[in-house]
Structure 1
Amino acid sequence: MNNFQYQLELPGRYDELERMALPHYDTFFSTVIEFIPKQTKTILELASGTGFLTRLVRQQFKDAQIVCSDINPDMMAVAQKKPELSDVRFCTCDITQDIPDGTFDAVVLTQCLFALPREKIPEILLRIRQRISPGGVFAYGDIFEPLDKWEFELYVSHWREQMIQNGMTEAETDLMLKPLEPMIKGYNPDYVRKELIKAGFSWVIFPYWYEMYGVMIAYT
């Protein structure tokens, strides 16, 4: 975990910060869930954090078996205390090294890959593809690089205004936004789509895009 991630991953406040920081978070997460097939029985969520998204997944898939993994045990400890997640299986895992064993109808991942070393992305996507059963999906939401620097600066300015209006401090917005440009350099939808196809997915769609946030769905 780098210093940027550590300072933002405040387990006790993470859910609150998620609502304040992520533009239209409800639409972003609901799109991820909407494209998980209704017949899904087994779900793996990677980088699940405090279970913010897991709660929403559980509401829609009441009978599914859900496995969650995260590198930060303190974040998972918060998730494990949520009564609605009492039947979810949690495990500590660094996805740059490995992901939980098993075969799943759906794998879910949000707000993670953009911050990881670029050379790790192909092997992570390959592992994910290997864990998905035939007919399953990879539901993936993240931050992506805009077309040019002018567009990036416009979105960052707009994003900062929204976060402050939502109650975040200047220091918190700086922690999130100042390191962003080098982190997402080259991490655009075309790059991710190509890597997903290389990993063995048959089709990739991009059903949601708002400024720098987007949702991609990859089908086996």
Structure 2
Amino acid sequence: MSVVQLFEAAAGTYDQARRRLVPCFDDFYGTAVEVASPALRAALADGRTPEVLDLGAGTGLLSSLIGAAVPGARLTLLDAAPAMLAVAAGHLTAQGVPHRIEVADLTAPLPGGRYDAVVSALAIHHLDDDGKRALYRRIAEVLRPGGVFVNAEQVAGPTPELDRRYQRVWLDQITALGSDEAEIEAARQRMSYDRPAPVGAQCDWLGAAGLIDVDCFFKAWRFAVFGGRRPEN
């Protein structure tokens, strides 16, 4: 079964496990929204509709949070799993958030236009390192001057021992939060396709892609929020 098929099969129940499988859920997603929001509010202050591109949007969790935090933002959601996007569209329609859907994977050309923010949550780690670097370059090209990229991501440890420690801590945390063996096994099946990279290396790649003010804004073991912005000129 491909990674897309796994996510298609999980679309109807995917969100139910998020707070267990992402133990730092509130800080993790909250930081991503906090990093993205100033550029969107600046667009509103300039009399423009803020444009947001959500890469690997899945069920639209991050898009929904951004739509709630910055009313008036318009979201473009890209994902390779149509069933996940159908769930996302239902959530955003119920919220009254303007949006459009693009079915494509992260190696495809990005949707045309200029974006005040490009965001992603728990998706880019499916690419290998060359794929990540290439995507970061494409992201920099579609950002408006001053636009921001923020990636709420699962990352690798900088050493093999730390990576093993990340795994042990995650298993302890999700078990304490109530994940049972079936839920853990389903998560492991999806994670078998993951290719995470250390946050330090990814910040370097963002700088090489032309972004500035690159930083890791939040990190709790394997979960990190990092990004940067396109220069004004």
TM-score (norm 2): 0.85
* Pair 1:182–1:71, CA change in 2 (3 A): closer
Q: Number of residues paired by the alignment?
A: 218
Q: How far 1:114 moved relative to its partner? A: 1.5
Cα distance in 1 for residues equivalent to 2:169 and 2:23: 10
* Pair 1:147–1:123, CA change in 2 (3 A): closer
Q: How far 1:46 moved relative to its partner? A: 1.0
Secondary structure at 2:42's aligned position in 1? coil
1:39 maps to which residue? 42
Cα distance in 2 for residues equivalent to 1:98 and 1:121: 14
Query: What is the alpha-carbon root mean square deviation over aligned residues?
Result: 2.2
Q: How far 1:60 moved relative to its partner? A: 0.7
- Per-residue CA deviation, residues 66-99 of structure 1 (Å, 9 max, x unaligned), is 1111111000111111201552111212121222
Q: What are the ranges of 5 or more consecutive residues in structure 2 without an aligned counterpart?
A: 44-49
1:69-84 equivalence runs, <5 A: 69-82=78-91, 83-84=94-95
- Tell me, yes or no, if the aligned pair for 2:85 and 2:101 is still in contact at 8 Å: yes
After TM superposition, which residue ranges in structure 1, 4 or more long, deviate above 2 angstroms? 2-9, 147-155, 164-169, 174-185
Instruction: Report which stretch shifted further, 13-22 or 83-92.
Output: 83-92
Q: How far 1:180 moved relative to its partner? A: 5.3
Q: Percent identity?
A: 25
Q: 2:54 aligned with 1:50, yes or no?
A: no
1:18 maps to which residue? 18
Cα distance in 1 for residues equivalent to 2:178 and 2:85: 25
What letter is aligned with 1:3?
S
TM-score (norm 1): 0.89
Secondary structure at 1:35's aligned position in 2? helix
1:110 maps to which residue? 121
2:225 maps to which residue? 215
1:202 maps to which of 212, 222, 232: 212
Secondary structure at 1:96's aligned position in 2? coil
Q: How far 1:131 moved relative to its partner? A: 0.7
- Tell me, yes or no, if the aligned pair for 1:143 and 1:184 is still in contact at 8 Å: no
Q: What are the ranges of 5 or more consecutive residues in structure 1 without an aligned counterpart?
A: none
Instruction: Report which stretch shifted further, 176-185 or 159-168.
Output: 176-185
- Tell me, yes or no, if the aligned pair for 1:45 and 1:66 is still in contact at 8 Å: yes
- Tell me, yes or no, if the aligned pair for 2:67 and 2:97 is still in contact at 8 Å: no
Q: How far 1:151 moved relative to its partner? A: 2.4
What letter is aligned with 1:39?
A
What letter is aligned with 2:163?
F
Cα distance in 1 for residues equivalent to 2:125 and 2:87: 24
